[in-house]
Amino acid sequence: MKTYQELANTVIISTKKNRLLNYDDSLELVGTGRSAFAFRIKFSNKAIKIFFPDFTHVAKEEAEIYHTLQNISYFPTIYESGQNYIVMDFIEGRTLYECINHGVSITTDHINEIDAALLTASNRGLNPSDIHLRNIIITPNQEIKLIDVARFRQTKDCTQWHDLKLVYHQLYLKRFFPKKIPTTMLNIMAFLYKKHLLPSYLSSSKMG
Ligand SMILES: Nc1ncnc2c1ncn2[C@@H]1O[C@H](COP(=O)(O)OP(=O)(O)OP(=O)(O)O)[C@@H](O)[C@H]1O
Ligand SMILES: [Mg+2]
């Protein structure tokens, strides 16, 4: 069996466009972000996050933050990290993005639980940031798990979760609002949000 370091070495990412060129047969690609690919290590409950060549420095930062968050059930356990990778629990379930995409309902209990999860991080001296739909997972047992904590030590205020909650209360909970939204539409909404083009009652004034 390969070590985590050896597994990480099998993942080849092009430096130009961050294209995934190759990876070991024992890895299953489960997600792509703006800075990394996430794989499940087959026949295990572990995931390995491999950072793009320009983002390898984030591995150390995110690993340190995960260490600060250990033994909190809302966050994956971290097992190892290296120059460009982190090994952690593989979280079974659906991201909020996938829930909305597949029409799986998001309840006020889920929202309250996410608030509770974020509070546990604040209580450990962190500043939860970059809280968006793809970084929150609802497990088959209806538990909440937060991943992608790399920006939890930033000092700048992040209003993303606050804004998402506004959209949840002002739109999602309304009877007329579709509970299943196709990817294209979700991506357009995310784009409008980034460009500060959502109606003001749906977004805070300090979006960054
Ligand atoms: N431990 C995990 N268990 C299950 N799925 C995961 C795990 N880690 C990451 N993923 C999946 O991979 C995706 C990308 O991972 P992650 O969010 O950590 O990457 P990123 O590049 O830091 O993302 P972002 O674009 O939000 O900065 C996630 O949205 C999720 O779908
Ligand atoms: Mg992410």
Domains and CATH numbers, the chain: 4-89 (3.30.200.20), 94-202 (1.10.510)
Ligand 1 proximity of 106 Cβ (cutoff 6 Å): no
Token couple for 173? 């909970």
Q: Tell me what the mean pLDDT of segment 134-142 comes to.
A: 97
CA-CA distance, 107 to 99, in Å (whole number)? 11
**Digit-coded pLDDT (tens) for 10-31:** 999 999 999 999 999 999 999 9
| Nearest ligand, CA 99 | 1
pLDDT of 207 higher than 90: no
Of residues 155 and 190, more confidently modeled: 155
> Are 10 and 24 in contact, with CB atoms under 8 Å apart?
yes
**Digit-coded pLDDT (tens) for 58-68:** 999 999 999 99
130 is catalytic: yes
Q: How many CB atoms lie within 10 A of CB 11?
A: 20
Nearest residue (CA) to ligand 1, atom 19: 33
> Are 100 and 171 in contact, with CB atoms under 8 Å apart?
no
pLDDT band at 206 (very low <50, low <70, confident <90, very high): very low
| Nearest ligand, CA 51 | 1
CA-CA distance, 170 to 196, in Å (whole number)? 17
Distance 97 CA to ligand 1 centre (A): 12
The residue from 130, 148, 157, 163 that is catalytic is 130
Ligand 1 proximity of 46 Cβ (cutoff 6 Å): no
pLDDT band at 199 (very low <50, low <70, confident <90, very high): confident
pLDDT of residue 208: 38
CA-CA distance, 125 to 154, in Å (whole number)? 11
Query: What phi and psi values does residue 145 have, to the nearest 5 degrees?
Result: -130, 140
Token couple for 92? 């079974």
pLDDT of residue 190: 87
Of 55, 134, 194, best ligand 1 pocket probe by most atoms within 8 Å of the beta carbon? 134
CA-CA distance, 184 to 192, in Å (whole number)? 12
